[in-house]
Chain A
Amino acid sequence: MLFNSLDFAIFLPIVFILYWFVFNKSLKWQNLLVAVASYVFYGWWDWRFLSLILFSTLVDYFVGVSLGKTEAPTRRKVLLWISILVNLGFLGFFKYYNFFLDNFKSAFSIAGYELNANSLNIILPVGISFYTFQTLSYTIDVYKDRLEPTKNFISFAAFVSFFPQLVAGPIERASNLLPQFYKPRKFEYSQGVDGMRQILWGLFKKVVIADNCAVYANHIFENSADMSGSTLALGAVFFTFQIYGDFSGYSDIAIGTARIFGFKLMQNFAFPYFSRDIAEFWRRWHISLSTWFRDYLYIPLGGSRGGTWMKVRNTFIIFMVSGFWHGANWTFIVWGALNAVYFLPLLLTNKNRQNMEVVAEDSYFPSLKEFGQMTLTFGLTVIAWVFFRAENIGHAISYLGGMFSESLLSIPYYEGIGYAKFLIPLLAIFIFIEWLERRNQFALEKLLLNQSIFIRLAAYYTIAFLIFYTAGEEQQFIYFQF
């Protein structure tokens, strides 16, 4: 079920009413409703894959319970590996089987051997990377004694499958989300209103910004051979905003939806395009994944504690694995490696934590230096996104080659660019609003709170109208494929 669909518009109020008016007397029943609703939400795509979630849930539940009963290190290690192998096994099979097979076949054929194995026609279950990481965080935390194992299966099943963030995050930590299923939840007006505002802003980002940028980005990327350098640069910028609007919009809708059910999810995006360096960008972009990799991969590998070689190695590992997490394609791996290359100079000169606060925290405008830093970081990000969006490495290289040609300074043009005239001012307004509200969790959080009810309503209706005006056929969220 898509957040931007009629199905969800019907599903959400039904679950909301059942949750607060029918099952509100019993926490157990409320959690059961969340679990059942989440399975319905997920099964709407393809009910066959419900068995995968259920199996992962059962394995991790019993691994958790067993870990709680034993102190023997070997047994605990075996239990942990069972969970890791089952979860990563599913992920590996569904997402990476064909990739590895094709690459092995190519490698063997270079060496003069022909490998007789056929690719499988595998459908990637939506959101498998997200819920796999979420449930793995539980087992690892229990193994490390950072979390008490739960004996409440319903709560655990609801935690693993929690519908607002099931298919595209934020990837919640068990230590944050699971305890929220143990405590009775009370509806709070301010939380409800906040949630609705965040849903509205998320829809705006997805439908108005991302989907409209997608039209131009897709056209330019698909016809990149015929485009001038400046048009290619424009296409890359459109994709940069498409992916931000798409993914952070989803996160906003997820967080807002969770909020109206009395749950607090972690912030997943913190205005990343206002970052002054790449390290800051990665603290603000897909925070739940970055921190997951930091806690469960980077630190166990030794983090930044070792010598220079270890720092370089770990940085490359975490960025490349992060890239590979996004998809079974070399383009994602190169995208990750490129970000590692951007990040390393900062790490090696101990400057990776120099921009911890919000840019221009006490003023309306950034200093010239900050503006330059932001522009450079944004530019580097745009270049990296070309690899993320391209069909293959060759496409990315030819795209960038075309972009950095003499025609980079020409006026962007392609047939149909006239329609982008509507989008460019809209993007400018969007950036302006995000800039004004960069200190908050999301742009609409406090933007209009001091205004009269009429101004607030006018603003909400304007946003709703823009959503209606620009919305077309339901568009998938990019991150569903991951």
Chain B
Amino acid sequence: MKKFLIRILIIGFPVIFFLIISELALRNIPNDYSLKREFLDENAQNLKTLVLGSSHFYRGVNPQLLEQPAFNAAMVSQSLDYDLKILENYKADFKNLEKLIIPISYFSLFGSLENGVESWRAPYYNIYYGIGNPIKFEILNKKGSQTLAKVFDFYFKDNNLILADSLGWGPKNVNVTLEELQFSGLEAAKRHTKKKLNLLPFQLKNLEKIIQIANKNKWEVYLVTPPAYYSYVANLNEKQLDLTISYCEKLAQDFDNVFYYNFLQINSLEPKDFYDADHLNKEGANKFSQILNFKIQKKF
């Protein structure tokens, strides 16, 4: 037994050592999550406007065009339950916060990060935001080949992995053809249409908790359905869309500090403002951010 254990330990040691080094090397690479955490750790107390939500706002809202100081804490596939986790984590620090802007997209009330195709991002909140279970390893989250490539790219090729700017906005400077918009609209609508609506009570509860936190701290909550190209809108399920809109309208009615704006079919945006049917490109995001800011300022 002694011989067996000693040999296992000797043989296993380089493997464990290699895994630990890989994990540490990965964690040391700055990314959008670590950038957002660092910003919030240092500046949460100064913020007046905070943007949460999924890629629709990570790509689509430029915080520089909102009431300052503002920060975009949205991330790809970040669902309402994760918005709530971020808020709960920083609520004591948001001493000057006035406005909370949350996208309520067509899928927001019916999906969650952990149940979606981007579920591999969930451990990043544990690792980089310090939210939830701390015993998560990034090396277990991706293929070893990807780990090695990422480490190599950063340490040996000086490739930066941060896509967002210093205020958390991740613009995409891409223009696409009308055919591509048609195709991506159909695909995204299919992807976002849920067969089961069983997550609705869960996400509604999360949204209500967000509103309660906002109430307590006297923040205004702006629920916003983001703009999309018509090929996306035309292929949405009516029931799912109606539910989304009616719940938001009801919340806006029930709470004095909640406002709802539906930009799903906004006329002032053109095809050239989108990089796919449900995401704005850089130019579109700037236009939309100005429109959004105008609405919020005027409160109509």
Contact = CB atoms under 8 A, between A and B. Distances in A.
Contacts of B11: 457, 460
B14 A461 contact: yes
Contacts of B15: 461, 464
Nearest to A464: B15
A470 B4 contact: no
B143 A469 contact: yes
A469 B145 contact: yes
B140 interface: yes
B143 A20 contact: no
A187 B143 contact: no
A330 B119 CA distance: 32
Given A461-B14, A464-B15, A474 B140 contact: yes
B17 to A, nearest CB: 12
B contact patch SS: helix
Interface residues of A, number: 20
A470 B1 contact: no
A436 interface: no
Interface string B1-25: 1011001100100110011000000
A20 B1 contact: yes
Interface size on B, as a range, is: 20 to 34
Given A6-B140, A20-B1, A468-B144, A473 B8 contact: no
A196 B8 contact: yes
A299 to B, nearest CB: 42
B234 interface: no
A192 interface: yes
A6 B145 contact: no
Nearest to A472: B143
Interface string B37-72: 000000000000000000000000000000000000
Interface string A437-477: 00000000000000000000100110011011111111000
Contacts of B140: 6, 473-474
A460 B14 CA distance: 12
Contact of A187 (B4, B7, B120, B141): B4
B137 interface: yes
B144 A470 contact: yes
Contacts, number: 40
B143 A471 contact: yes
Contacts of A192: 1, 4
A465 B147 CA distance: 12
Nearest to B137: A6
A364 interface: no
A460 B145 CA distance: 18
Contacts of A189: 1, 3-4
Contacts of A461: 14-15
A397 interface: no
Interface in B124-171: 137, 140-146, 148
A213 to B, nearest CB: 15
Nearest to A211: B143
B198 to A, nearest CB: 10
B4 A471 contact: no
Interface of A: 6, 20, 187, 189, 192-193, 196, 457, 460-461, 464-465, 467-474
Closest 4 pairs (CB-CB, A-B): A468-B144, A469-B144, A472-B143, A192-B4
Given A471-B144, A473-B140, 14 more contacts: A6-B140, A187-B1, A193-B7, A461-B15, A464-B15, A467-B144, A468-B18, A469-B144, A469-B145, A470-B143, A470-B145, A471-B143, A472-B143, A473-B141
24 contacts: A6-B137, A20-B1, A187-B1, A189-B3, A192-B1, A192-B4, A193-B7, A196-B8, A460-B11, A461-B14, A461-B15, A464-B15, A467-B144, A468-B18, A468-B19, A468-B144, A469-B143, A470-B143, A470-B144, A470-B145, A471-B143, A471-B144, A473-B120, A473-B140
